[in-house]
């Protein structure tokens, strides 16, 4: 009996200590991407992911109610949602905060951008250059904290350089001193560190996301030195690394464990940027990971709004539900930008192309083959949903339905999409298929032809999208998400 009590105690302690290593997963703010449509789509894939707006310039928001409302007005479903502000004027931030709830609805956290390097080059003095003005940054934090009850955060780099260098000699003290100065009045709740320095001039924004080198060790030290601050690590992390943590306690490879050491062992939260765009459908797997915490379990402040939407039951349904949303948007807003509405689906199509290719390349034993076929079946559903929805949006958005056989039919609780693909031969339920000899060859051939079909379908739909939104816009969407 005593042994049992002891065993239960040990088990509980073990579980509790594991649960202590839970983290929030943020999808990074990314201009040109994390607009309200992408946020809606991501929320259908994951309830746990913390969503961010693009950086909003305080002055712009104050200047135009109509435009800012259009971008920031949000529904309960988007929570948890962080508003990121760009600016260095405390008075302007105060004025904005006084009307934020009335105009847009509440946010779960207000963030100050102190990491964007391209802003100084544009003649302004916020973004990463705020790292050179720690006292002003603290003033901004204090202003936001006094105006609102939501947590206030700063997203920064580990330091700055005025120009590109032959060699970068980063100094941890720069980050420590900045964090100390900004947090000393106890108004700062959270700091997000993109673990590389910013080069303030002479380097393009995209190069500034790949050089100088990453210094995760600085973020680890920061978390240790500031135990009362929430610290989030960002830069170069992939969803795969984050999702690998579900297997940490079982048989994960040493390589995975090394990735997990980057944040789990240091009690950090995680922010993923570009990889979240190029592998957007992988956000579907986030909620199943026990180490990824739900915002509402962690941050239990009174004013925190709750996410009322439960995620879709499959990825294909999430895609179709996005189609339903897009149809509503097209009906309600005559000035909608088609490229913005299509953006999540362009990202999904590109990701699916990669998944189909990966499945083609995969070699393995019987069990892997079977799992591969099952995964391929899901991918097939996703491809079908994605292509149909894009076709339907193009048909509706471009107002020229003559050549398209796709349509979105909405009723109160479901969406049905008819498309050219409907008659395509599907491979049915492969779960129970035992493949032997000739049958295996046939199966392989069929899989190859299905994957060719899928690639062809995705390429065709992406070509049509490019024709509708323009090559330049399309290329920008594809290029800027790449590392
Ligand atoms: C296209 C693009 C736009 C971005 N816009 C913003 C922004 O508005 N605000 C911000 O703080 N960071 C912005 N970032 C930086 C990301 O939030 C993130 O810090 C950076 O990409 C590093 O993370 P990653 O390596 O996971 O992509 C942007 C990044 C990209 C790729």
Query: pLDDT digit string (tens) for 306-339?
Result: 555 567 899 999 999 999 999 999 999 989 999 9
Neighbour-count burial for 128-154, b at 16+ CB within 10 Å, e otherwise:
bbbbbbbebbbbbbbbbbebbebbbbb
Question: Residue 376: helix, strand or coil by DSSP?
Answer: helix
Would you place residue 273 in the very low, low, confident or very high pLDDT band (cuts 50, 70, 90)? very high
Domain boundaries, the chain: 21-298, 315-480
Query: Using CA atoms in the order 108, 111, 115, 118, what is the torsion angle rounded to 10 degrees?
Result: 100
Atom of ligand 1 nearest to the CA of 276: 26
Yes or no: say if 172 and 218 are a contact pair by the CB < 8 Å rule.
Answer: yes
Alpha carbon distance 26, 84 (integer Å):
13
**Residue of higher predicted confidence among 435 and 233:** 233
The CATH number fitting domain 21-298, selected from 3.40.50.620, 3.20.20.70, 2.40.30.10, 3.30.360.10: 3.20.20.70
Annotation says 116 is catalytic: yes
Alpha carbon distance 159, 164 (integer Å):
13
pLDDT score, position 251:
38
Across 320-324, 366-370, 396-400, 421-425, least confident range: 421-425
Question: Residue 35: helix, strand or coil by DSSP?
Answer: coil
194 C-alpha vs ligand 1 centroid, how far in Å? 9
Tell me what the pLDDT averaged over the chain comes to: 83
Token pair 């990669």: residue: 354
343 within ligand 1 shell (Cβ under 6 A): no
The string of DSSP letters for 372-383 reads HHHHHHHHHHHH
**Taking the model in full, what pTM does it have?**
0.87
Atom of ligand 1 nearest to the CA of 480: 1
Would you place residue 4 in the very low, low, confident or very high pLDDT band (cuts 50, 70, 90)? low
**Nearest CA, atom 3, ligand 1:** 30
Query: Pick the catalytic residue: 116, 156, 187, 386?
Result: 116
Would you place residue 435 in the very low, low, confident or very high pLDDT band (cuts 50, 70, 90)? very low
364 C-alpha vs ligand 1 centroid, how far in Å? 37
Would you place residue 433 in the very low, low, confident or very high pLDDT band (cuts 50, 70, 90)? very low
Is the pLDDT reported for residue 453 higher than 80? Answer: yes
**Residue of higher predicted confidence among 174 and 483:** 174
Question: Residue 364: helix, strand or coil by DSSP?
Answer: coil
How do beta strands 190-194 and 415-418 pair? unpaired
Q: What's the DSSP call for residue 78?
A: G
369 C-alpha vs ligand 1 centroid, how far in Å? 37
Instruction: Give the end-to-end CA distance of the chain in Å, rounded to a whole number.
Output: 57
Is the pLDDT reported for residue 19 higher than 60? Answer: no
Residue-wise pLDDT for 31-88, tens only, equals: 999 999 999 999 999 999 999 999 999 999 999 888 888 899 998 889 999 999 999 9
Alpha carbon distance 446, 443 (integer Å):
5
């Amino acid at each position: 009996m005593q042994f049992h009590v002891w065993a239960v105690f040990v088990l509980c302690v073990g579980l509790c200590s594991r649960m202590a290593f839970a983290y929030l997963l943020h999808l990074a703010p990314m201009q040109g991407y994390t607009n309200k449509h992408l946020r809606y789509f991501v929320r259908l894939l994951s309830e746990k992911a913390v969503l961010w707006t693009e950086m909003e310039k305080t002055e712009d928001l104050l200047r135009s109610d109509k435009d800012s409302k259009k971008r920031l007005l949000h529904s309960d479903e988007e929570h948890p949602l962080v508003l990121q502000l760009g600016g260095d004027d405390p008075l302007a931030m105060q004025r904005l905060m006084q009307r934020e709830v009335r105009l847009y609805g509440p946010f779960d956290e207000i963030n100050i951008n102190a990491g964007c390097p391209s802003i100084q080059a544009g003649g302004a003095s916020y973004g990463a250059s705020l790292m050179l003005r720690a006292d002003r940054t603290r003033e901004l934090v204090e202003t936001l904290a006094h105006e609102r009850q939501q947590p206030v955060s700063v997203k920064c780099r580990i330091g700055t350089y005025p120009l590109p260098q032959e060699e970068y000699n980063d100094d941890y003290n720069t980050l420590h001193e900045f964090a100390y100065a900004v947090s000393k009045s106890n108004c700062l709740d959270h700091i997000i560190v993109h673990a590389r320095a910013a080069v303030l001039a002479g380097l393009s924004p995209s190069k500034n996301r790949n050089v100088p080198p990453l210094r995760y060790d600085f973020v680890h030290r920061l978390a240790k030195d500031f135990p009362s601050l929430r610290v989030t690590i960002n830069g170069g992390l992939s969803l795969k690394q984050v999702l690998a943590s579900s297997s940490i306690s079982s048989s994960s490879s040493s390589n995975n464990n090394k990735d997990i050491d980057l944040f789990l062992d240091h009690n950090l939260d995680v922010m993923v940027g570009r990889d979240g765009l190029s592998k957007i459908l992988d956000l579907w797997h986030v909620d199943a990971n026990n180490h990824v915490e739900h915002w509402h379990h962690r941050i239990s402040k009174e004013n925190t709004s709750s996410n009322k939407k439960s995620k879709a039951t499959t990825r294909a349904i999430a895609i179709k539900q996005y189609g339903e949303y897009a149809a509503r948007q097209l009906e309600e807003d005559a000035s909608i930008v088609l490229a913005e509405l299509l953006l999540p689906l362009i990202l999904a199509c590109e990701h699916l192309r990669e998944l189909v290719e990966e499945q083609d390349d995969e070699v393995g034993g019987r069990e892997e083959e079977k799992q591969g076929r099952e995964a391929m079946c899901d991918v097939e559903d996703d491809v079908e949903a994605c292509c149909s929805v894009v076709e339907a949006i193009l048909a509706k958005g471009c107002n020229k339905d003559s050549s398209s056989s796709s349509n979105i039919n909405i009723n109160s609780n479901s969406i049905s999409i008819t498309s050219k693909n409907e008659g395509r031969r599907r491979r049915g339920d492969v779960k129970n298929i035992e493949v032997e000899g000739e049958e295996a060859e046939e199966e392989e051939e069929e899989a190859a032809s299905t994957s060719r079909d899928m690639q062809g379908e995705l390429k065709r739909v992406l070509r049509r999208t490019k024709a509708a939104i323009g090559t330049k816009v399309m290329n920008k969407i594809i290029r800027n998400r790449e590392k």
